[in-house]
Chains A and B, each alone.
Chain A
Amino acid sequence: MRQIRIEDRGERLSVQTGQPETDADAAIGRAAALLAKARHPVIGGLGCDVDGVRAALRLANAIGASVDHAATAHERVELRVLADSGVMTTTVSEARHRADLIVLAGPGAVAWADHARALADGGGLYPWRGERGVLCLATGGARPAHVAADGTVSALGDDLPLHRVLGLLRARLGQKPIGPLAQDGPDRTAIDAVALQMKSAAFGVMVVDANDVDHVTLDSLQGLVKDLNRDTRFTTLGVPAHHHGRGANLVSAWTTGDHLPVGLGRGYPVQDDWLHDAERLVTSGEADALLWVGALGPDVPAWASSVPTVALVHHGASASAEVVIEVGVPGVTHPGVLTDAVRDAFAFVDAKAPQPLPSVAAVITAIEAALPGGHP
């Protein structure tokens, strides 16, 4: 493996919007030079708003970069399952108002439900809805504190992995035999009772966090939901990807045709989870420069130290990189468009506390303009 050691200058520069100043120009210039001379640059992190992602993809096209987002579970698990076998999904507000059964599959679902509190009340728009049940599958004993339920929360397979629980339920729902059950696990009666509870729901919603599962397990979960729709209505809700991962991947889809990671080194987009994985490219030495975008986080990862790095970070972020440029945060220091986790849709957000920092899009556009042969 090729190791590149570059002294950590740890410079921190702010670019003023509106009136360019010398230091900012210098930082942009050095960032452009660093990326332009790379044989295979990578843009990673990508925690930024819609315009930031648009600008990053344009820059990637200009310099032949690979582009990836930090929310790898969303890309490698959720979006993979979508492409492999399709999905059934709903929105948070439909789940809140319409679901008469909320199934929390895996501990991440419980943690999200308690943290986001999006299902903390049962809604009230559909007065005909029956009582709301809550069911925990393979949550390792975790139970939600902030999910509205009529009656007690039921559970199955606290000590089993989710894929096993899903397998047992699918088998029993399909009236197929199941093999011998472990002594310390659920018995057949308990499995059948949960299967019946799911089948009896008028509109069930299964919540799952992609970080809890591999693509095979998520595929099986989606398969179970499709099976249930033969007789009733059932669907799923994914825990939103962190650092605006869903929004970034949607922008990539309409800009490049497909989700991240994507490589633009050939003059047309190539989507490949392995080939264009930012961490793999950097740690294997295939990539020789990194542009890390962390306006919405995450911080520059430790593995970035093996390549020359330009880091766009929010105020207060720790970053050691060859060029560090402080940028504004959409929805905090400047306006922008982000996916709204409550609605799973894009929304324009205003600045709560405007500061004279540049947006990710402004910095990346300036870097592109400063490339040799660019159009300033």
Chain B
Amino acid sequence: MTTIRLMGGRVVDPVSGATSVRDVYLVDGRVAAAAPVGGAVDETYDCTGKIVMAGGVDVHSHIAGGNVTMSRLLLPELHVSETAGPDGMPFATASWSGWETGRLYAEMGFTTVVEPALAPAQALQTHLELADIPIIDRGALTVVGNDDHFLSLLRDRESETAIRDAVAYQLATSKGLGLKVINAGGPAAFHSGLRTFELDDVVPHYGASSRQILTTLLTAVDQIGVPHPLHVHANNLGVPGAPKTIEETIAAAEGRRMHFAHIQFYSYGKDAEGMMTSGAEEIAAALAAAPNVTCDVGQVMFGPTVTISLDLMKQWQGAAYASPKKFSLTDGDAEGGGVVPLVYARKNWINQLQWAIGLELFLLSPDPWRVLMTTDHPNGGSFTTYPQIIHLLMDSGERARWIEHMPQKARERTALEEMTREYTLEEVAIMTRAAPAKILGITDRGHLSDGAVADVAVYDDLTDKTAMFTNARYVFKDGRLVVRDGRALGWISGRTSILAPDVDGQMERRMADYITDRYGVGPAAFAVPERAFGERHVFKVEPCLT
């Protein structure tokens, strides 16, 4: 038995209790409320004056898979490696590598990250990449709703049961932790030449509307018992007027649980001249009125980045604004993907407005349990900007310093300047730990209750929140010290959390026939077997709801 004592820190964990100075024990990889009776403490870490929190959980960050690797290949100039890494940690400083991703997340105190776009036809690549991200635990959301097989079921008016079984098959074989739909029907319509797609538009040749795809999947998620609500990348991303789309989508859900990805990109209103304004208040009101709905923000931060999305329609439109002037677009077997580089410039009033709208959404949030922090990495900015975002939310003075640089044209289109709210550490702990873990259905983490996974971040209690959250003083993963003084100590391997829903035998045979017809190879070519990872023990099965 190994017992670690984190001594005298201020524990910020609203799940296990009010913030207080107390000891936290880590016993054999689990959190213990008290020292084991008669057990000796093996190691003690003095946390006096420090903040103790659960390890961070990221619900939506593009860290692995074919499109992420496409972005690596498309944009070498954005990620030139320049510094040698420490001994014993190969590729730790290889810019944009999976190894660097794991290290940087861990050094910020994040211990679980979910890749939100697992394409079933490319599942093994995503899982190979995830397994090569060190230190942290991972998961991925299976993308459904735009593939020919699914759309054909809708066209042929197959039963709810058949659709549930087909979706469960995709989830199980791709080893996803949840289900996601991207611009429901939009990418399928793009393959057929359409360039816009609204909630009541119909996918050519299938007769299925976006609304129908969405509601069918909402039902399937409940019937399969997926703990994470359907993860929805809605129609009209980035379009001024999209708050209306969000409201209609919420209405379409009819009270069923639903998670909106990167809602900032839908929070654009328009003025009388059709120019972009903040639609954050409208979105916040819609969220407040819909307790069944959660979202992550997708905050925009300044600098060059790359957008990675399976929303082909949006990416084709965005390609015209690519900077540098290049992009890739893959017509895949279902969605495929588009990779478009972009610069969010401080001097650009629209980019400034996007930044402000994201912060407005946080500050208008009706509930930290329902509005989560993401940058939709790397689409709104890198995950490494999380400490800055926390700083902006906790410190109105810091916000004011940034707002000073805002062009007038942006300032008059957002209410950010008048907002005085400052996030508390408790709200940050909920928004970046407890809530994402709960929403993902991985409830053994995100908090420090007795028996929780011993993923813990210890921070110096600094007024400079950027500094505080960039480099954790200590990070423990499964009770092992993995970061000290803001530096990762070595490579350990985490796990990839997956669901293993029952798959109906008859649907398995139907899918085998379909796959063979489509690809000329059988379902084995799509499998993600444990043996593909050699000696490594990669997967952790999480329970479905019953």
Contact = CB atoms under 8 A, between A and B. Distances in A.
Contact of B73 (A51, A79, A203, A343): A79
Contacts of B520: 93, 118, 342
A94 interface: yes
A90 B332 contact: yes
B216 interface: no
Contacts of B66: 345
Contact of B527 (A86, A125, A233, A348): A348
A345 B129 contact: no
A50 interface: yes
Given A89-B331, A254-B98, A348 B125 contact: no
Contacts of A232: 193
Contact of A337 (B93, B96, B128, B339): B128
B328 A86 contact: yes
Given A88-B329, A203-B191, A345-B125, A267 B73 contact: no
A250 B328 contact: no
B427 to A, nearest CB: 35
B316 A229 contact: yes
A256 B124 contact: no
15 contacts: A88-B329, A90-B331, A93-B333, A125-B148, A128-B205, A203-B331, A254-B129, A258-B79, A269-B94, A335-B531, A340-B525, A345-B66, A348-B524, A348-B528, A348-B532
A337 B148 CA distance: 27
A335 B532 CA distance: 8
Given A124-B517, A235-B331, A269-B91, A346 B97 contact: no
B69 A254 contact: yes
Given A203-B191, A345-B125, 10 more contacts: A58-B90, A89-B331, A128-B205, A233-B193, A253-B69, A253-B73, A254-B128, A258-B79, A267-B85, A268-B81
A184 interface: no
Given A124-B517, A125-B148, A233 B81 contact: no
Nearest to A87: B328
Contacts of A269: 81, 91, 94, 97
Nearest to B316: A229
A5 interface: no
B518 A255 contact: no
A19 interface: no
Interface string B185-213: 00000111100000000001100000000
A268 B84 contact: yes
Nearest to B519: A93
B95 to A, nearest CB: 5
A274 B232 CA distance: 45
Interface string A220-255: 000000000100110100000000000001110111
B529 interface: yes
Interface in B52-74: 64, 66, 68-70, 72-74
B303 interface: no
A128 B79 CA distance: 44
B99 interface: yes
* Contact count band on A: 35 or more
B82 to A, nearest CB: 7
B82 A268 contact: yes
Interface in A325-376: 335, 337, 340, 342-343, 345-348, 361
A7 interface: no
B534 interface: yes
B122 interface: yes
A54, A250, A361 pick with most chain B CB within 10 angstroms: A250
B344 interface: no
B518 A257 contact: no
Contact of A82 (B73, B128, B191, B332): B73
Contact of B94 (A124, A125, A256, A345): A256
A257 B521 contact: no
A362 B284 CA distance: 55
Contact of B76 (A58, A94, A258, A340): A258
A211 interface: no
B521 A340 contact: yes
Interface string B320-361: 001001111111110010010000000000000000000000
Contacts of A229: 316
B527 to A, nearest CB: 6
Contact of A268 (B83, B192, B316): B83
B124 A346 contact: yes
A337 B532 contact: yes
B94 A255 contact: yes
B121 interface: yes
A51 B333 contact: no
A71 B346 CA distance: 43
A254 B72 contact: yes
Contacts of A203: 191-193, 331
A272 to B, nearest CB: 10
Contact of A257 (B64, B95, B527): B95
Interface centre among A251, A259, A267, A268 (most CB of B within 10 A): A268
Interface in B306-326: 316, 322, 325-326
Interface string B86-110: 0000110111111110000000000
Contacts of B129: 254
B302 interface: no
B75 interface: yes
A204 B411 CA distance: 46
A97 interface: yes
A257 B531 contact: no
A84 B326 contact: yes
Interface in B488-539: 517-521, 524-529, 531-532, 534
Contacts of A62: 90
A254 B327 contact: no
A347 B524 CA distance: 8
Contacts of B192: 202-203, 233
Contacts of A337: 124, 128, 532
A342 B74 contact: no
A14 interface: no
A233 to B, nearest CB: 6
Given A267-B84, A343-B525, A254 B76 contact: no
B132 interface: yes
Contacts of B204: 128
Contacts of B526: 347
